[in-house]
């Protein structure tokens, strides 16, 4: 009989996959996994499971490798589901291992078990299983990892009964599995030809271009064709320098505004985005009259749902490399795009705060954003300048930004992370501050405190309502919440003192919080 246990085999695999950080919140059904916890692994404790998932999402995106999460049976998985949905929409490779009760007592509905465990996280997982036998667990985790890492990436789930960890099994060797899908060469050639014929091409760049590392190629293509570049609606990553003369702005997630902003172009090249991402109902055409749309996309599902245009499924960087060399016709430079005027200092607004943050932060510091009504002012006043330096959720689900900032900071040691959070958003995951304090991570938590769910009030107006219940948040002391968890903080309510507070926080080697009361 083999000397290897399921535990030995799984930890050996995780080591080979480079997954030596485990984000989790433990319960009885997980403890045996951690017997003889190896020295080269670290366990990052979250005080609620949605925070473990959010941290893993940020970590996976910033390391470009799968991140491991350990959850407590059905109850822990339940708490994590909102951020699991976000990881699914972010295309983040997150491997979730959830504990399950002992196989022999499962027929009796034991305390803290999971009923139909693999069904629970569906449809927001690419693969989900409770292996039929203990000895199948390492193979299931290997399959889960390869599946998570295959484009389009995404979360996977393995439920492991508590009594499996000590069972004997055969070791499972890590394998190489290719991850890049290449676009159809004949279609790429057609695209190059069509683009060369276009009179006024425009590019829409989105999160998949960032995930595929296509920053330099996108800049080169835009410059070669003198094509303005829009950020795709609700883009969860940055894919083009926002101070570049060809940067046009951010498409709004609505059918009519997209058609309006792209009007006048005869050729739309979408790089790694669903350009048909809508937040509100809209009608009419999908693209301006007479415009031809081509989409390069990693995700076959997004290619399939596009209502118009030609889609080529494959890696964006690889595709751009293939046809960047083809000659571009001489085209005049487009007119420069208008930039927002500098905001006033009084009364203190989010726009002013963001303009000061832009002035004071290092250009390569990383922004993780979850401040819904400040997103527009952020676009106007806080340009993102370097690749891989902006992260937000693609799902719209709050409670992701604060923990994701922690995951990003863990993944990028020595780099400053700025978590830009609404007051309401902060409260969905506020106990994440404790983990940031314990790890001493250099994160500036900037809380935009407007005392309410402003984004929902904006929606009220959209629906023709003047007011709505459940949107006021008076009386929350964010500095107090930070201090109680070991993070120094300061409250600012006017432009006076703002620069000093921001500079101190940005210069700190550990976490700090700046609560900014805005008008």
Catalytic residue numbers, as ranges = 27-28, 30, 49, 72, 279, 396
Among residues 24, 206, 314, 399, the one that binds ligand TPP under rule CB under 6 A? 399
- Regarding 83 and contact with ligand TPP (CB under 6 A), the answer is no
Among residues 371, 384, 410, 492, the one that binds ligand TPP under rule CB under 6 A? 371
Among residues 30, 315, 388, 454, the one that binds ligand TPP under rule CB under 6 A? 454
- Regarding 385 and contact with ligand TPP (CB under 6 A), the answer is no
CB of 469 to Mg ion, least distance (A): 16
**Which residues lie below 8 Å from residue 479, measured CB to CB, with a gap of 6+?**
489, 490, 491, 513, 515
CB of 450 to ligand TPP, least distance (A): 5
Two structure tokens written together for 357: 């943050």
Within residues 235-274, the interface with ligand TPP by CB under 6 A covers: none
CB of 283 to ligand TPP, least distance (A): 24
Other CB atoms within a 10 A radius of the CB of residue 336 amount to: 11
Residue 200 contact among Mg ion, ligand TPP, none, beta carbon within 5 to 8 Å by kind = none
Among residues 58, 201, 272, 372, the one that binds ligand TPP under rule CB under 6 A? 372
Rounded distance between C-alpha atoms, residue 174 and residue 188, angstroms: 34
Two structure tokens written together for 456: 């929902």
Rounded distance between C-alpha atoms, residue 240 and residue 493, angstroms: 34
Q: Is 372 or 407 the residue whose CB approaches ligand TPP more closely? A: 372
Rounded distance between C-alpha atoms, residue 143 and residue 172, angstroms: 11
- Regarding 453 and contact with ligand TPP (CB under 6 A), the answer is yes
Among residues 38, 396, 488, 510, the one that binds ligand TPP under rule CB under 6 A? 396
Phi then psi dihedrals of residue 49, to 5 deg? -70, -30
Q: Sign of torsion, CA 179 157 394 59? A: negative
- Regarding 401 and contact with Mg ion (CB under 5 A), the answer is no
Task: List the beta bridge partners of residue 45.
Answer: 24
Tell me if 443 sits within 8 A of 468, measured CB to CB: no
Helix residue ranges per DSSP H, 150-214: 185-197, 207-211
Two structure tokens written together for 277: 């991402």
Among residues 8, 298, 380, 423, the one that binds ligand TPP under rule CB under 6 A? 423
Going across the sheet that includes 247-250, the strands are 247-250, 229-231, 201-205, 267-271, 292-297, 310-313
Among residues 138, 314, 422, 511, the one that binds Mg ion under rule CB under 5 A? 422
Two structure tokens written together for 327: 């000659």
Two structure tokens written together for 444: 């500036």
Question: Which segments of 333-388 are extended strands (E)?
Answer: 366-370
Site string for ligand TPP, 323-362 (x = CB under 6 A): ----------------------------------------
Residue whose pair of structure tokens reads 């410059």 in the numeric block: 223
- Regarding 450 and contact with Mg ion (CB under 5 A), the answer is yes
Within residues 462-501, the interface with Mg ion by CB under 5 A covers: none
- Regarding 147 and contact with Mg ion (CB under 5 A), the answer is no
Residue 447 contact among Mg ion, ligand TPP, none, beta carbon within 5 to 8 Å by kind = none
Tell me if 501 sits within 8 A of 514, measured CB to CB: yes
Stretch that binds ligand TPP, among 35-43, 61-69, 206-214, 454-462 (CB under 6 A): 454-462
Task: List the beta bridge partners of residue 445.
Answer: 419, 513
Secondary structure letter of residue 236 according to DSSP: S
Q: Is 380 or 454 the residue whose CB approaches Mg ion more closely? A: 454
Among residues 403, 424, 442, 511, the one that binds Mg ion under rule CB under 5 A? 424
Among residues 423, 435, 436, 502, the one that binds Mg ion under rule CB under 5 A? 423
CB of 497 to ligand TPP, least distance (A): 22
Tell me if 377 sits within 8 A of 222, measured CB to CB: no
**How many residues interact with Mg ion (rule CB under 5 A)?**
5
Tell me if 489 sits within 8 A of 515, measured CB to CB: yes
- Regarding 152 and contact with Mg ion (CB under 5 A), the answer is no
SS3 at position 499: helix
Residue 165 contact among Mg ion, ligand TPP, none, beta carbon within 5 to 8 Å by kind = none
- Regarding 57 and contact with ligand TPP (CB under 6 A), the answer is no
User: In the complex, which residues of this chain contact Mg ion (CB under 5 A)?
Assistant: 422-424, 450, 454
User: In the complex, which residues of this chain contact ligand TPP (CB under 6 A)?
Assistant: 82, 371-374, 396-399, 422-425, 450, 452-456
């Amino acid at each position: 009989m083999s000397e290897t246990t399921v535990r030995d085999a799984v930890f050996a695999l995780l080591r080979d996959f480079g997954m030596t950080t485990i984000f989790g919140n433990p319960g009885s059904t997980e403890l045996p996994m951690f017997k003889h916890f190896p020295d080269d692994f670290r366990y990052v404790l979250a005080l609620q499971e949605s925070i473990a998932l959010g941290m893993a999402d940020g970590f996976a995106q910033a390391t470009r490798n799968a991140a491991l999460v350990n959850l407590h049976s059905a109850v822990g998985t339940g708490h994590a589901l909102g951020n699991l949905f976000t990881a699914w929409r972010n295309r983040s490779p997150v491997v979730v291992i959830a504990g399950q009760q002992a196989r022999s007592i499962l027929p009796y509905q034991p305390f803290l078990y999971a009923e139909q465990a693999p069904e629970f996280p569906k449809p927001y997982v690419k693969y989900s299983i409770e292996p039929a036998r203990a000895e199948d667990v390492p193979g299931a985790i290997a399959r889960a990892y390869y599946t998570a890492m295959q484009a389009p990436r995404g979360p996977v789930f393995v439920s492991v009964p508590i009594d499996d960890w000590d069972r004997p099994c055969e070791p499972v060797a890590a394998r190489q599995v290719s991850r890049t899908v290449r676009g159809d060469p004949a279609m790429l050639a057609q695209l190059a030809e069509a683009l060369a014929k276009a009179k006024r091409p425009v590019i829409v760049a989105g999160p998949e271009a960032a995930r595929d590392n296509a920053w330099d190629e996108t800049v080169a293509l835009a410059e070669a064709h003198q094509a303005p570049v829009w950020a795709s609606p609700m883009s969860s990553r940055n894919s083009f320098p926002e101070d570049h003369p060809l940067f046009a702005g951010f498409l709004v997630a609505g059918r009519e505004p997209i058609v309006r902003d792209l009007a006048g172009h005869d050729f739309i090249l979408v790089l790694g985005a669903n350009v048909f991402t809508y937040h509100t109902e809209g009608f009419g055409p999908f693209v301006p009259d007479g415009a031809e749309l081509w989409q390069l996309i990693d995700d076959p599902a997004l290619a399939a749902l596009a209502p118009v245009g030609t889609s080529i499924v494959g890696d964006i960087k690889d595709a751009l490399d293939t046809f960047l060399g083809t000659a571009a016709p001489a085209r005049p430079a487009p007119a420069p795009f208008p930039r927002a005027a500098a905001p006033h200092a009084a009364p203190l607004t989010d726009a002013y705060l963001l303009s000061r943050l832009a002035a004071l932060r290092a250009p390569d510091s990383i922004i993780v954003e979850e401040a819904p009504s400040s997103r527009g002012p952020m676009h106007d006043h806080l340009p993102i300048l370097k690749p891989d330096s902006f992260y937000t959720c693609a799902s719209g689900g709050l409670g992701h930004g604060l923990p994701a900032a922690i995951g990003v900071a863990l993944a990028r040691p020595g780099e400053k992370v700025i978590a830009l959070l609404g007051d309401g958003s902060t409260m969905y995951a506020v106990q994440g501050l404790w983990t940031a304090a314990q790890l001493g991570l250099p994160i500036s938590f900037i809380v935009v405190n407007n005392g309410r769910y402003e984004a929902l009030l904006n929606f009220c107006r959209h629906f023709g309502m003047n007011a709505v219940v459940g949107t006021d948040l008076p009386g929350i002391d964010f500095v107090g919440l930070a201090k109680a968890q070991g993070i120094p903080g300061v409250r600012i309510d006017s432009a006076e003192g703002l620069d000093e507070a921001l500079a101190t926080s940005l210069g700190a080697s550990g976490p700090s919080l700046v609560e900014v009361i805005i008008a």
